[in-house]
DNA sequence: CAGTATCCATTTCGATACTG
DNA sequence: CAGTATCGAAATGGATACTG
């Protein structure tokens, strides 16, 4: 949908970035992979709250976008590990910047939220 | 939904940040406001592709989160301007980092996409 | 263990028409 | 011009059950 008939901001690079990461799990999955290869099941535990379906789906898209590499071992029981590609690793820094912002300003946002719900800008 | 009963990564700051910006329009709207106050109608033109409904909805949420300030002038015809709050302005840098990433690596992602759709990792 | 398929509830978003 | 209301289509995501 990005850049089909956009006008100005419509096809700026921000749109591509948003299309890549603007869903519920992508950023968290990338964060989960940022320390090194992780198994499918371990990711589910690590992230907490994601279903296997959504994890697989997210990983598949990241794989298709060249950000994640899937490594399956022919063993029993099966073992599959996921890791960031070099390209994927470069995305960690922007995500980290975002996370740092949240760490620094998260409280301010929460304050604004319940300030608004009580006083409504009186 | 964020942090209700998360386990590990579930309540790291990344989750808050994602919940804030992980939708189709938030980042683009913030980008549109990054240069200074803009009127409602101008934002629609500037962004390209957003409906007035979604723009208003996005702005309302950003307002509730303390990131955007709404300024209405009692004139005819009505004039309403939106601008970033100081807090909102601090979000521009992380967004810019992301945009820069997209500018630098967007082609690599696009390459990965159609490499995958043709050769399927031969 | 890893992954898929199916079903279903919720959410998201666009089109349209309307108010002040 | 700015904003709201309503409708419906489509995407999203969770639960569950199943396969290899």
pLDDT digits 0-9 by tens, B15-62: 888 888 888 899 999 999 999 999 999 999 998 889 999 999 999 999
What is the enclosing helix (H) or strand (E) of A38? strand A38-39
Provide the angle, in degrees to the nearest 10, between the axes of the packed helices B52-64 and A86-119: 80
Give the closest nucleotide to A70 (alpha carbon vs C1'). C2
Is A121 a residue whose pLDDT tops 60?
A: no
HSE of B112 in the Cβ direction (CA atoms, 13 Å)?
20
A46 and B CB contact within 8 Å? yes
Q: Chain-wide mean pLDDT for chain A?
A: 85
Give the closest nucleotide to A57 (alpha carbon vs C1'). C3
Q: Name the residue closest to the C1' of C5 by its CA.
A: A53
Question: In this structure, what are the phi and psi dihedrals at residue A68, rounded to the nearest 5 degrees?
Answer: -135, 145
Chain-chain contact of A95 with B7 (C-beta, under 8 angstroms): no
What is the enclosing helix (H) or strand (E) of A99? helix A86-119
Residues of chain B found within 8 Å of residue A6, distances taken between Cβ atoms: 48-49
Delineate the domains of chain B, giving CATH numbers in brackets. Answer: 3-90 (1.10.10.10)
Q: What is the pLDDT of residues A21-65, one digit of tens each?
A: 888 899 999 999 999 999 999 999 998 889 999 999 999 999 999
Radius of gyration, CA atoms only, chain A? 18
Q: Which long-range contacts (CB under 8 A, 24 or more apart) does B49-56 make?
A: B49/A5, B49/A6, B49/A7, B49/A10, B50/B25, B54/B24, B54/B25, B55/B25, B55/B29
Residues of chain A found within 8 Å of residue B93, distances taken between Cβ atoms: 97, 101
Report which DSSP code applies to A43: H
Question: What pTM was estimated for this model as a whole?
Answer: 0.85
And the tokens for B91? Answer: 């979000």
Q: How far is the CA of A54 from the C1' of C11 (A)?
A: 16
Chain-chain contact of B47 with A87 (C-beta, under 8 angstroms): no
B112 touches strand D (CB under 7 A): no
Residues of chain B found within 8 Å of residue A32, distances taken between Cβ atoms: 9
Radius of gyration, CA atoms only, chain B? 18
Is A5 a residue whose pLDDT tops 50?
A: no
B12 and A CB contact within 8 Å? yes
């Amino acid at each position: 949908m990005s850049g089909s008939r956009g006008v100005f901001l419509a096809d700026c690079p921000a749109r591509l970035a948003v299309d890549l990461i603007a869903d519920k799990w992508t950023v968290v999955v990338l964060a989960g992979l940022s320390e090194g290869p992780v198994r499918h099941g371990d990711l589910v535990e690590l992230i907490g709250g994601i279903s296997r379906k959504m994890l697989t789906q997210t990983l598949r898209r990241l794989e298709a976008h060249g950000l994640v590499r899937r490594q399956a071992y022919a063993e029993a029981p099966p073992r599959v590990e996921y890791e960031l590609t070099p390209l994927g690793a470069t995305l960690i820094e922007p995500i980290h910047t975002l996370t740092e912002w949240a760490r620094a300003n998260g409280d301010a946002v929460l304050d604004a939220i319940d300030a608004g719900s009580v006083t409504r800008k009186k």
